[in-house]
């Protein structure tokens, strides 16, 4: 897999007028060690306490 691939294009096409926020791609082989990256991303987008 290559990151998010065509996800942004697909969402833009299927959800016209929607605002897409910052994305986070986690590859399958990286899931076990992704907690730090996910927590930082959630803080950046305002869904977790700073």
Confidence label for 2 from pLDDT (cuts 50, 70 and 90): low
What Å distances lie between residue 20 and 15, 29, 32, CA to CA? 10, 25, 26
What Å distances lie between residue 49 and 13, 28, 41, CA to CA? 32, 26, 11
pLDDT tens, 3-42?
788 988 999 999 999 998 898 989 889 999 999 999 999 9
pLDDT computed for residue 4 by the predictor: 81
SS3 assignment, position 3? coil
pTM of the model: 0.70
Whether the pLDDT of residue 1 is over 70: the answer is no
- From the list 48, 6, 42, 47, the residue with the least C-alpha distance to 24 is 42
The domain segmentation of the chain, as residue ranges, is 7-44
pLDDT computed for residue 5 by the predictor: 85
């Amino acid at each position: 897999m290559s990151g998010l691939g065509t996800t942004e294009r697909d969402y833009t096409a299927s959800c016209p007028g929607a605002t897409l926020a910052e994305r986070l791609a986690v590859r399958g082989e990286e899931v076990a060690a992704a907690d730090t990256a996910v927590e930082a991303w959630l803080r950046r987008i305002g869904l977790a306490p700073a």
